[in-house]
Structures are given as C-alpha cells and as structure tokens.
Amino acid sequence: MKKGWEEQLRNELKSTLKNAGYRSDDESNEDSDEELADRLQDQPYFHGILPRNQSVSQLIQKGDYLVRINEQGKYVLSILCTDPDNSSKLKDGHFFIHERNQMYSLQPDVYSKPSVHELISFYKRQKIELRDDGTRLIRPIARPDYIINNDDVRTFDTLGKGHFGQVARGEFRGKPVAVKILHESSTAQNAQARKNFINEALLLQQYKHKNIVKFLGIAAIHDPLMIIMELIEQGSLNNYLKNNELRVPQLIQMCYDIAKGMEYLEKHNIIHRDLAARNCLVDKKNRIKVADFGLSRCLQSDEEYFCQIKEIPIRWWAVEVFSNAPYTSKSDVWSYGITIWEVFSKADTPYSHIPLNHSVIDAVKHGERLKQPEKCPSKIYTIMITCWTVDPKDRPNFERLVELLKKEKPLF
C-alpha cells in the first residue's frame, strides 16, 4: 500500500511540474513514452483537417469539445456552449489556439503549455471556464472510426492520375489498399478542392454494396488528404477490356454488375455524374465495382441538381446537360448506355470519328447515336438505345435496367 501511495504522489508531482512547463534533463534529451502519448494526432478528440461543419455536427451536449485544424492551418478548439442570443439553446463556439515560442494558449500569455494536448488537459482538469456562462471542457468527442491517422498509411507505386491528384498502391494495417491522394497544389490553391475531396470520402463511407468500391477510411489528420479504399486487383474496366478477349456472356454479366451498383446508388438518391468504363473496377472474380465518386452529389427527395461543374466528360453526358437542363439520375442512365457500349467495343472512345468535343455536342443534339458494336447482341443494343432517348422521363431507371439485363445475362 505504501509503495502504491508513493507512486501516486510521485506521478501527481510529476504532472504538476509538467503543467508548469518544467522538463528534466532526461526528458529534454529524449522522447519518453508519456511525451509520445502527448502527440495531438494520437488524441481521440483531434479531428484533423475535416471541415468544420462535419466535425461540430458531432457535438451534442454542453461542454462537448474537439480540436481541429481550420482551412488556414490553425488549431481550433470547438465546444458546444449556451447560445448568447438565446440561453435556452446551445451553439458551437470556436477558440483559436495560439502558438508563441513553442508554447500554446487559448488566450495570449494565459495558461501557456508546451503542447496542445497538455493545454486541453489542463483546462479540463482544472475546470477552467471559457466563457462567463460557465462553459468548460466536459466531454471529449472522439473522431469517427473512418478518420485514419496518415502515419498509419504507406504508399507505393502510382496506379493512376487525375485532376484531383493520383491513386497509388498502398498498405494500411498490413493489408494492401488503394490510396487516393489529393494534390498538394490543390490543397494550397483551392479550398473547394479539399471540400470536394472530403465530401467524396464522407459519401463513400455511407454505402456498402458488392458492386460499389469499398471505402476503408480517410486520412485527414494532416496533409496530404488521402482516401483509403479496397485494392481492386485487376484495375480499371477500360484497361481490362482493351487487354482481354471476353465472351459475350461475360460482357453481359459486366453490364449487369454495373447496373446493380447504379441501382443501389439510385435507391440512395445518389447521382454519380461521371459513370464510364474508366471509373469502374474489375476484381479478382471479374466482378465489376462502380468507383470514383468525384462528381457525385446527394439528391434530397426528387430534387434535381443543376450542373455547375466546368470539367465535363462530354462524350458520356446526356443531351439535356448540354442545354443546362437539370442533371438527374436519368442523366446517369444515359451515361450507363455509353458505358455498356464501351463494354462491347473494347473500351473504344465514344464518337471516335468526331475529334472535337464541341462537335460531339452538336452531333448528339441533332440525333446522332452510337452504332451497334459488332459483338453486341440486338437485345442489348435495344437497351442502350432506350438509355439515349431525348426526354429523360422516357428512359428506364436502373431498377428497370437490372430487370431487363437479368433476362439476358447467363446463369452461373
């Protein structure tokens, strides 16, 4: 008992000295286990560079708090407190964490500590009020499980590149993964690029289906932002089609897989906006998974989302989009028709005989449609044609497409 009492006293004394900023010679020369535990990125309440609205939505009760990094790269303490304009309501409050001479404080030169974690711990332990209404740190809010520490992810060779950044082969917790990495330049130059990238990750983590690429997490503790996904062994569908000779039943099964994935998204009010063979992946069982939600938007009820995006996959987009009409799930159906045309054309470029994109727009507006590929059965081509009707209301939805393809696909 005496030994335990002495150890407790020694620990309390050490903690008090540490809070006062004291470091022994041994502690100054090397990192102790305790100091390593003081790293902010290891604290559950640190939410990294997630957007403010995504983080603070998890604050429920007065005194709930977390620490995050804002768009300017500054540490911010977010806490739920009494609304100053209505004492019966709660509102999120935000306090900059100031750094000066490697010391951190919530007010300049007041209760400075050598690390953010020690500062937060001091305020919580001492029950120091942040506002006159009694607001203080009560309950730390842990970041969601899908927020991954960047240091736990290793990246290797590049698998592909895009305007957002690149996709690399990687490793997470000993398992092979695909890692989508946001350009450092995008992070620095365009806050919207960061938001879009994070929104894509938050969208992906909500959905699970065998024909949708599996989301594992987002590394958002520091830059660069990385989306961690399952590694699909055989890569993109367009490359797979170009490099393999496939039988018609196999091609029909691929079309069915894509339709099933899109049916799932449709039922969850998601429009993909960039459906194409390049954005589908082939796993080791030759099963197709829909991927790349870079342009995805979530629809509320039947609300239609107007297109405002500059980088447009012209040859895959529906005719109404070129006239600034609403982009709906029926516009995805048009793109699906183009995608299954790719499947039967060994991933040839749609309208390859028309070199310029603006000429493609004119041709589609005047009624030109892709011709039936040599390998494509007539019934499958009929399905394609229904996807390309001028009036979106006359196109089948993905549930109907699944029904039609189920009748044509082989029995395995």
In terms of Cα–Cα distance, which of 338, 358, 364 is closest to 349? 338
180 annotated to bind ligand: yes
User: Residue 66: enclosing H or E segment and its boundaries?
Assistant: strand 64-69
3-state secondary structure of 13: helix
* DSSP 3-state of 309: coil
Query: For residues 403 and 386, what is the distance between their CA atoms, to the nearest angstrom?
Result: 14
Crossing angle for the helix pair 329-343 and 398-408, to the nearest 10 degrees? 30
| Contact yes or no for 220/49 (Cβ under 8 A) | yes
Q: Which residues pair with 82 in a beta bridge?
A: 90
Structure tokens at 299: 């629809």
Q: Nearest to residue 121, comparing CAs of 50, 54, 52, 34?
A: 34
Task: Report strand pairing: 147-148 vs 215-219.
Answer: parallel
Contact in structure between 230 and 213 (CB atoms under 8 Å): yes
CB–CB of 226/219 below 8 Å?
Answer: yes
Beta-carbon contacts of residue 222 (< 8 Å; ≥ 6 apart): 41, 48, 49, 69, 150
Q: Does 109 participate in catalysis according to the annotation?
A: no
22 close to 118: Cβ distance less than 8 angstroms: no
How many residues does the structure list for the chain? 412
Is residue 281 classed as helix, strand or coil in its secondary structure? strand
Among 274, 283, 292, 332, which one carries the catalytic annotation? 274
Residue 224: asked if its preceding bond is cis (omega within 30°), the reply is yes
Which residues line the annotated binding site?
180
The catalytic site residues sit at 274
Which residues line the annotated binding site for ATP?
180
